[in-house]
């Protein structure tokens, strides 16, 4: 029988995120037994310092009520260490989290092949394109992309996975309910629909300069390997790479401009033994013998292309060959100095693009009521019957699939096939 979750919350709250509780649990078995033992037995055990005993008496399991209520209210799942949904690889690391708060599908935490993707928030166009394309290819092959839910490389990595119809996990350095990076709020909703957003911090805990380095051990710890893309000399991504090595995990790095300080960290990792990455297969190759049944890596040898290009190809299909009649019309239009196809477009009803089958149900509902006419989000709320937050996250999802155009005045319409 599992230990009640409030005891796990009590122990994590007493010690704080990132602190090692292994030796205590090895002695007492579980948090409930530890709590019931009391201060006298704690002292007799000889494994707890006075400071640790003071921390254990500062709170009680009953004080977890507000956390339990907030999680139920918001649809967040609490996954303690002894829960079957707890990520297997995280059980192996030092200082494993005693409790995870999960927004989304907990089954993604059991994925066999997770790949961490990290890099600078102030990413170059090259870094963003590589992160997006590599994540797309890895997710298409069946890997789950794990990153930090921040701007720059993190955001591009999550986006590539979603555009491939794959799954992705964002690990936050704050509570799920904290308004961290408001501009990424819609993206987090999409991630929760295509995987999960998780944190070891209590629901409304704010981020600090210390929480992100502590968080980084979970990105590497949950992943078989971590790919570093565009990291400077003192980048936090290098902390993640170091943690990965300490955890016995693989480290990969994408080569960059040797004259740019933005790539000093990644290039140094390659110099020091990290495996350079040019295609998705450079990452997956070593995992195929053990995890081949979970991967479809046939196309992973291909050179990386931007996810937007691949998404556009997927949704629009191959262009139809032009007939002799069409060629004549184009020639006539050119002689009149009109854009090709202008005459047909005058009376033509623009066709609706194709929505990927793996799109979320909310995205499908919104897509069904969208047209070529630009409309405000409020109008789309009325037309679809969806709550405003669901409309906003679904718009973000449709934008990722290159199916939506944003017009002035924050109005949205469908893109049409040419």
Q: Encode pLDDT of 347-385 as tens digits.
A: 334 567 788 877 888 999 999 999 989 999 999 999 999
Distance (Å, whole) CA 341 – CA 143: 43
Range 95-111 average pLDDT: 96
Strands 195-199 and 168-171 come out as parallel
Res 288: pLDDT: 96
Res 27: pLDDT: 92
Res 357: pLDDT: 78
Predicted TM-score (pTM) of the model is 0.82
Distance (Å, whole) CA 360 – CA 374: 22
285-292 long-range contacts, Cβ below 8 Å, gap at least 24? Answer: 286/225, 286/250, 287/113, 287/224, 287/225, 291/112, 291/113, 291/224
Helix (H, G, I), strand (E, B) or coil at 223: coil
Six-digit token pair at 106?
Answer: 């907990």
Six-digit token pair at 370?
Answer: 């969208």
Nearest partner of 350 among 361, 341, 363, judged by Cα: 341
CB 395 within 8 A of CB 360: no
Residue 77: phi, psi to the nearest 5? -95, 140
Cβ-proximal residues to 57 (8 Å cutoff; 6+ apart), any chain: 39
Note the pLDDT tens digit of each residue in 138-196.
999 999 999 999 999 999 999 999 999 999 999 999 999 998 877 778 889 999 999 99
Range 233-262 average pLDDT: 92
Helix (H, G, I), strand (E, B) or coil at 116: strand
Nearest partner of 96 among 144, 25, 146, judged by Cα: 25
What one-character-per-residue DSSP string does 350-374 give? PPPPPPPTTS-HHHHHHHHH--SS-
Note the pLDDT tens digit of each residue in 48-88.
999 999 999 998 999 999 999 999 999 999 999 999 999 99
DSSP summary character for residue 406: E
- Give, in order, the Cα–Cα distances in Å from 100 to each of 78, 308, 377: 6, 33, 34
CB 84 within 8 A of CB 22: no
Please report which confidence band the pLDDT of residue 344 belongs to, taking 50, 70 and 90 as the band edges. Answer: very low
Six-digit token pair at 372?
Answer: 């070529």
């Amino acid at each position: 029988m599992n230990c009640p979750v409030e005891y796990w919350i009590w122990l994590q709250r007493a010690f704080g995120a990132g602190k090692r509780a292994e030796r205590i649990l090895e002695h007492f078995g579980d948090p409930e037994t530890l709590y019931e033992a009391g201060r006298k037995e704690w002292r007799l055990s000889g494994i707890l310092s006075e400071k640790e005993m003071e921390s254990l008496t500062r709170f009680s399991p009953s004080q977890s009520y507000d956390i339990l209520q907030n999680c139920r209210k918001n649809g967040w799942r609490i996954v303690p260490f002894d829960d079957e949904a707890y990520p297997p690889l995280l059980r192996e690391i030092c200082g494993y989290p005693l409790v995870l708060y999960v927004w989304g599908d907990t089954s993604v935490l059991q994925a066999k092949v997770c790949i961490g993707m990290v890099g600078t928030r102030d990413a170059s166009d090259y870094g963003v394109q590589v992160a997006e394309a590599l994540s797309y290819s890895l997710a298409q092959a069946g890997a789950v992309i794990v990153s930090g839910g921040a701007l720059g490389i993190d955001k591009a990595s999550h986006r590539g996975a979603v555009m491939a119809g794959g799954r992705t996990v964002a690990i936050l350095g704050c509570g799920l309910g904290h308004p961290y990076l408001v501009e990424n709020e819609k993206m987090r909703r999409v991630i929760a629909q295509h995987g999960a957003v998780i944190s070891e911090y209590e629901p409304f805990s704010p981020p600090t300069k210390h929480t992100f380095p502590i968080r980084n051990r979970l990105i590497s710890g949950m992943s078989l390997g971590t790919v570093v893309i565009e990291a400077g000399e003192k980048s936090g991504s290098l902390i993640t790479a170091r943690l990965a090595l300490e955890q016995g995990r693989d480290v990969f790095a994408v080569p960059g401009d040797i004259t740019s300080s933005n790539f000093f960290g990644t290039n140094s990792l390659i110099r020091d033994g990290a495996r350079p990455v040019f295609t998705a297969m450079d990452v997956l190759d070593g995992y195929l013998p053990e995890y081949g049944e979970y991967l479809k890596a046939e196309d992973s040898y291909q050179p990386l292309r931007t996810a937007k290009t691949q998404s556009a190809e997927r949704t629009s299909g191959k262009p139809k060959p032009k007939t002799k009649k069409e060629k004549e019309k184009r020639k006539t239009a050119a002689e009149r100095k009109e854009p090709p196809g202008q005459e047909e477009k005058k009376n033509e009803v623009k066709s609706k693009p194709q929505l990927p089958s793996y799109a979320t149900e909310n995205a499908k509902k919104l897509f069904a009521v969208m047209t070529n006419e630009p409309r405000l989000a409020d109008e789309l709320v009325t037309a679809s019957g969806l709550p405003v937050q669901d409309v906003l996250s679904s718009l973000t999802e449709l934008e990722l699939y290159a199916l939506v155009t944003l017009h002035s005045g924050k109005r949205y319409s469908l893109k049409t096939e040419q």
